[in-house]
Amino acid sequence: MLAGDEVESHRRLDPSEGEATTPRVLSVLSFVLERLVARNDQLFVGSSQQLEGLGLSGKGLNAFHGVRAPNIGIPKYLERLYKYTNCSPSCFVVGYVYIDRLLHRHPDSLVVSLNVHRLLVTSVMVASKVLDDVHYNNAFYARVGGVSNAELNRLEMELLFLLDFGVIVSSRVFESYCLHLEKEMMCGGVGQRIERAVLTNSMDDVTEISVEDSLQSSSPPQLVD
């Protein structure tokens, strides 16, 4: 199910080798997103009218909203994406950059429990296509992420148009986001350093740190939303 003729696995050790193979970026990103989502959910719990007033219905990130939040938490969801898709750890940082860019372009929209999973699978998939020489196709990502292939195709196009196809992340921007995520982790009392990778793309040299963010089988089992 690899895209094109890409048939080799890469950048990954056997999952049986344990947690030592899990990149630290997953725990760092999980910490930051869980705190962000918890705050946003708490602010507007039980108030659909307020959610509509904040651009969560009809525009912005509306396309990424599910009827209800998935049962799987953010940490396990990120681990699942990493375990089955063979994407490089850098894809998670770049995916976070994409989400932050969306918030800059649509400041009235929020990342909440109803949209965070779809945002993650879509952004990580697009990042993998940009960064990785070998990557799985949309159908495989859809199975891993617990959405239909048709929905993920639609979400991919939605993401690209919302970003105005601005998917290039320079080494400087990548490093700034790594530092930002590490700083957020330290504020929570835990210090972890994200794995760095050399990015060949260097067209975009704008740093975007959102004010909102500052505060064993080779084929995955079906994930039901």
Residue 154 in any domain: the answer is: yes
Q: What is the pLDDT of residue 2?
A: 41
The number of distinct structural domains making up the chain is 1
Residue 91 in any domain: the answer is: yes
Q: What is the pLDDT of residue 195?
A: 59
Q: Residue 102: CB partners within 8 Å, gap ≥ 6? A: 61, 109, 119, 159, 162, 163
Helix locations, the chain, DSSP H: 24-43, 48-53, 74-85, 90-105, 116-131, 138-145, 149-162, 171-187, 211-214
Half-sphere exposure of 157 (CA within 13 A, CB side): 5
Q: What is the pLDDT of residue 13?
A: 35
CB 177 within 8 A of CB 73: no
Residue 130 in any domain: the answer is: yes
User: Which amino acid is located at 125 in the chain?
Assistant: M
Residue 135 in any domain: the answer is: yes
- The closest of 205, 206, 185 to 194, measured between CA atoms, is 185
Tokens of 163: 């970003």
The CATH number assigned to the domain holding 162 equals 1.10.472.10
Residue 19 in any domain: the answer is: no
CA distance 190 to 184: 9
Range of the domain at 65: 24-43+58-188
Half-sphere exposure of 45 (CA within 13 A, CB side): 7
Residue 142 in any domain: the answer is: yes
Residue 14 in any domain: the answer is: no
Residue 50 in any domain: the answer is: no
Q: What is the mean pLDDT of each run of 10 residues along the chain (225 residues)?
A: 37 42 90 93 62 52 92 97 95 97 91 96 98 96 97 98 95 93 72 57 43 48 61
CA distance 209 to 86: 27
Q: What is the pLDDT of residue 190?
A: 55
Q: What is the pLDDT of residue 197?
A: 60
- Whole-prediction pTM value? 0.77
